[in-house]
Amino acid sequence: MKKKVMALILTVALAVSVMSVFTVQAAGLTVEVKDGGHITVKVDGETSANDWVGIYKEGEQYGEGEGTVTSLVWWYIDDTTKTVNWPEDRAAANTAAGKNIEAAGNRPTELNEDLSLAPGKYYAVVLGGEDAYTPVSGFDVAEFEIKAPGEDNPDSGNTGDTGNTGSTGNTGNTGNTGDTGNTGNTGSTGNQGGNANTADTASVIFMIAAAAMIVTVALRKKAY
Protein backbone atom coordinates (compact mmCIF):
# COMPACT_ATOMS: atom_id res chain seq x y z
CA MET A 1 0.00 0.00 0.00
CA LYS A 2 2.81 2.39 0.91
CA LYS A 3 4.53 1.68 -2.42
CA LYS A 4 1.34 2.51 -4.35
CA VAL A 5 0.92 5.80 -2.45
CA MET A 6 4.54 6.79 -3.09
CA ALA A 7 4.17 5.95 -6.79
CA LEU A 8 1.09 8.18 -7.00
CA ILE A 9 2.89 11.05 -5.26
CA LEU A 10 5.85 10.77 -7.63
CA THR A 11 3.53 10.71 -10.65
CA VAL A 12 1.77 13.89 -9.52
CA ALA A 13 5.09 15.58 -8.77
CA LEU A 14 6.39 14.76 -12.25
CA ALA A 15 3.20 16.02 -13.85
CA VAL A 16 3.45 19.31 -11.96
CA SER A 17 7.13 19.68 -12.86
CA VAL A 18 6.29 19.29 -16.56
CA MET A 19 3.63 21.99 -16.48
CA SER A 20 4.97 25.44 -17.27
CA VAL A 21 2.98 28.45 -16.09
CA PHE A 22 4.14 31.97 -15.39
CA THR A 23 2.33 35.20 -14.64
CA VAL A 24 2.87 38.74 -15.91
CA GLN A 25 1.29 41.51 -13.86
CA ALA A 26 0.73 45.09 -14.90
CA ALA A 27 -1.45 47.77 -13.35
CA GLY A 28 -5.01 46.48 -13.63
CA LEU A 29 -4.05 43.66 -15.98
CA THR A 30 -2.69 40.15 -15.39
CA VAL A 31 -1.70 37.55 -18.00
CA GLU A 32 -1.02 33.93 -17.07
CA VAL A 33 0.88 32.05 -19.77
CA LYS A 34 0.37 28.29 -19.96
CA ASP A 35 1.63 25.50 -22.18
CA GLY A 36 0.52 25.32 -25.79
CA GLY A 37 -0.09 29.05 -26.26
CA HIS A 38 -3.04 29.12 -23.86
CA ILE A 39 -3.39 32.25 -21.72
CA THR A 40 -5.61 33.67 -19.00
CA VAL A 41 -6.25 37.43 -19.05
CA LYS A 42 -7.64 39.09 -15.92
CA VAL A 43 -8.90 42.67 -15.80
CA ASP A 44 -9.00 44.32 -12.38
CA GLY A 45 -10.29 47.86 -12.46
CA GLU A 46 -13.10 50.17 -13.56
CA THR A 47 -14.04 49.96 -17.22
CA SER A 48 -16.80 51.31 -19.44
CA ALA A 49 -19.01 49.55 -21.98
CA ASN A 50 -16.68 50.49 -24.87
CA ASP A 51 -13.44 49.31 -23.27
CA TRP A 52 -11.85 46.19 -24.67
CA VAL A 53 -8.78 43.92 -24.40
CA GLY A 54 -6.51 43.54 -27.40
CA ILE A 55 -3.68 41.04 -27.92
CA TYR A 56 -0.90 42.18 -30.27
CA LYS A 57 2.52 40.93 -31.29
CA GLU A 58 5.56 42.74 -29.93
CA GLY A 59 6.35 45.82 -32.04
CA GLU A 60 2.87 46.12 -33.55
CA GLN A 61 1.00 49.41 -33.22
CA TYR A 62 -2.70 49.46 -32.42
CA GLY A 63 -4.99 52.12 -33.81
CA GLU A 64 -6.22 53.28 -37.17
CA GLY A 65 -4.27 54.65 -40.09
CA GLU A 66 -0.90 54.01 -41.61
CA GLY A 67 1.49 51.84 -39.62
CA THR A 68 -1.21 50.27 -37.44
CA VAL A 69 -2.56 46.74 -37.43
CA THR A 70 -5.67 45.01 -36.19
CA SER A 71 -5.45 42.87 -33.07
CA LEU A 72 -4.83 39.14 -33.15
CA VAL A 73 -7.49 38.51 -30.49
CA TRP A 74 -9.87 40.94 -28.81
CA TRP A 75 -13.09 41.20 -26.75
CA TYR A 76 -15.16 43.84 -25.00
CA ILE A 77 -14.92 43.87 -21.21
CA ASP A 78 -18.09 43.02 -19.29
CA ASP A 79 -19.02 40.94 -16.25
CA THR A 80 -18.47 37.70 -18.19
CA THR A 81 -15.10 38.67 -19.62
CA LYS A 82 -13.28 40.18 -16.65
CA THR A 83 -11.36 36.91 -16.74
CA VAL A 84 -10.91 35.07 -20.05
CA ASN A 85 -9.14 31.76 -20.58
CA TRP A 86 -8.12 31.83 -24.23
CA PRO A 87 -9.04 29.92 -26.35
CA GLU A 88 -11.26 27.93 -23.93
CA ASP A 89 -13.57 30.95 -23.37
CA ARG A 90 -13.76 31.77 -27.06
CA ALA A 91 -17.59 31.68 -27.05
CA ALA A 92 -17.83 34.27 -24.25
CA ALA A 93 -15.27 36.48 -26.03
CA ASN A 94 -17.22 36.22 -29.28
CA THR A 95 -20.45 37.18 -27.52
CA ALA A 96 -18.77 40.17 -25.90
CA ALA A 97 -17.24 41.22 -29.21
CA GLY A 98 -20.65 41.43 -30.84
CA LYS A 99 -23.13 39.53 -32.96
CA ASN A 100 -21.54 37.48 -35.73
CA ILE A 101 -18.09 38.77 -34.76
CA GLU A 102 -15.15 36.46 -34.11
CA ALA A 103 -12.80 37.57 -31.35
CA ALA A 104 -10.00 35.95 -33.35
CA GLY A 105 -11.39 36.83 -36.74
CA ASN A 106 -8.90 39.54 -37.74
CA ARG A 107 -5.80 37.40 -38.35
CA PRO A 108 -6.70 33.75 -37.66
CA THR A 109 -3.97 32.37 -39.93
CA GLU A 110 -1.35 33.73 -37.53
CA LEU A 111 -2.73 31.65 -34.67
CA ASN A 112 -2.48 27.93 -33.96
CA GLU A 113 -5.14 25.60 -35.32
CA ASP A 114 -7.08 25.75 -32.04
CA LEU A 115 -6.73 29.58 -32.08
CA SER A 116 -4.19 29.58 -29.26
CA LEU A 117 -1.15 31.85 -29.61
CA ALA A 118 1.85 30.66 -31.61
CA PRO A 119 5.35 30.93 -30.12
CA GLY A 120 6.50 34.56 -29.98
CA LYS A 121 6.38 37.78 -27.95
CA TYR A 122 3.09 39.59 -27.33
CA TYR A 123 1.42 42.26 -25.26
CA ALA A 124 -2.08 42.76 -23.88
CA VAL A 125 -3.61 46.24 -23.64
CA VAL A 126 -6.91 47.77 -22.50
CA LEU A 127 -8.23 50.29 -25.02
CA GLY A 128 -11.37 52.42 -25.32
CA GLY A 129 -12.44 56.04 -25.55
CA GLU A 130 -14.23 57.80 -28.37
CA ASP A 131 -11.86 56.50 -31.02
CA ALA A 132 -11.78 53.02 -29.41
CA TYR A 133 -7.95 53.02 -29.44
CA THR A 134 -7.11 55.24 -26.46
CA PRO A 135 -5.33 53.41 -23.61
CA VAL A 136 -7.71 53.32 -20.62
CA SER A 137 -6.47 55.13 -17.54
CA GLY A 138 -5.39 52.82 -14.70
CA PHE A 139 -4.21 50.01 -16.97
CA ASP A 140 -0.68 49.31 -18.13
CA VAL A 141 0.50 47.14 -21.01
CA ALA A 142 1.28 43.52 -20.02
CA GLU A 143 4.10 42.05 -22.12
CA PHE A 144 4.53 38.27 -22.26
CA GLU A 145 6.10 35.51 -24.33
CA ILE A 146 4.90 32.17 -25.64
CA LYS A 147 7.72 29.65 -25.77
CA ALA A 148 7.98 26.82 -28.25
CA PRO A 149 7.42 23.31 -26.85
CA GLY A 150 10.42 22.19 -24.82
CA GLU A 151 11.61 25.73 -24.01
CA ASP A 152 11.43 27.13 -20.51
CA ASN A 153 9.28 30.19 -19.94
CA PRO A 154 11.07 33.17 -18.39
CA ASP A 155 10.77 33.70 -14.67
CA SER A 156 9.75 30.08 -14.22
CA GLY A 157 12.33 28.31 -12.09
CA ASN A 158 12.92 24.62 -12.68
CA THR A 159 11.14 22.33 -10.26
CA GLY A 160 13.54 20.85 -7.74
CA ASP A 161 14.11 17.14 -7.39
CA THR A 162 11.64 15.28 -5.24
CA GLY A 163 13.10 14.70 -1.80
CA ASN A 164 13.76 11.19 -0.51
CA THR A 165 11.10 9.62 1.65
CA GLY A 166 12.07 9.63 5.31
CA SER A 167 12.93 6.35 7.04
CA THR A 168 10.23 4.61 9.02
CA GLY A 169 10.72 5.10 12.76
CA ASN A 170 11.87 2.19 14.96
CA THR A 171 9.19 0.15 16.67
CA GLY A 172 8.99 0.92 20.40
CA ASN A 173 10.30 -1.61 22.96
CA THR A 174 7.82 -4.08 24.42
CA GLY A 175 6.93 -3.23 28.03
CA ASN A 176 8.33 -5.40 30.88
CA THR A 177 6.10 -8.21 32.21
CA GLY A 178 4.77 -7.41 35.68
CA ASP A 179 6.22 -9.28 38.69
CA THR A 180 4.39 -12.47 39.78
CA GLY A 181 2.45 -11.94 43.02
CA ASN A 182 3.68 -13.60 46.25
CA THR A 183 2.24 -17.05 47.04
CA GLY A 184 -0.14 -16.96 49.98
CA ASN A 185 1.01 -18.48 53.33
CA THR A 186 0.04 -22.08 53.93
CA GLY A 187 -2.62 -22.41 56.62
CA SER A 188 -1.54 -23.72 60.05
CA THR A 189 -1.98 -27.43 60.66
CA GLY A 190 -4.74 -28.16 63.16
CA ASN A 191 -3.68 -29.20 66.68
CA GLN A 192 -3.48 -32.92 67.30
CA GLY A 193 -6.15 -34.24 69.55
CA GLY A 194 -5.06 -34.31 73.24
CA ASN A 195 -3.81 -37.63 74.81
CA ALA A 196 -5.60 -39.08 77.84
CA ASN A 197 -4.01 -38.03 81.09
CA THR A 198 -1.85 -41.05 81.98
CA ALA A 199 -1.24 -39.81 85.50
CA ASP A 200 -4.97 -39.57 86.26
CA THR A 201 -5.56 -43.14 85.01
CA ALA A 202 -2.80 -44.51 87.23
CA SER A 203 -4.33 -42.80 90.27
CA VAL A 204 -7.70 -44.41 89.64
CA ILE A 205 -6.11 -47.85 89.26
CA PHE A 206 -4.15 -47.33 92.47
CA MET A 207 -7.26 -46.31 94.40
CA ILE A 208 -9.17 -49.31 93.12
CA ALA A 209 -6.32 -51.60 94.12
CA ALA A 210 -6.09 -50.00 97.57
CA ALA A 211 -9.83 -50.38 98.07
CA ALA A 212 -9.61 -54.03 97.13
CA MET A 213 -6.84 -54.63 99.68
CA ILE A 214 -8.84 -52.90 102.40
CA VAL A 215 -11.82 -55.11 101.65
CA THR A 216 -9.62 -58.21 101.62
CA VAL A 217 -8.08 -57.33 104.99
CA ALA A 218 -11.50 -56.65 106.46
CA LEU A 219 -12.83 -60.00 105.37
CA ARG A 220 -9.80 -61.77 106.76
CA LYS A 221 -10.26 -60.14 110.17
CA LYS A 222 -13.90 -61.12 110.16
CA ALA A 223 -13.02 -64.69 109.36
CA TYR A 224 -10.57 -65.01 112.30
- Shortest CA distance to 30 belongs to which of 134, 144, 137? 144
For 4-15, write each residue's pLDDT tens digit.
555 555 554 444
Q: Distances from the Cα of 197 to the Cαs of 171, 202, 203, 205, in angstroms?
A: 76, 9, 10, 13
Measure the CA–CA gap between 207 and 200, rounded to whole angstroms.
11
- The more confidently predicted of residues 128 and 183 is 128
pLDDT at 151 (0 to 100) = 76
Question: Model pTM greater than 0.75?
Answer: no
The average pLDDT across 164-174 equals 61
User: CA 48, CA 78: separation in Å to the nearest integer?
Assistant: 8
Residue 177's pLDDT is 58
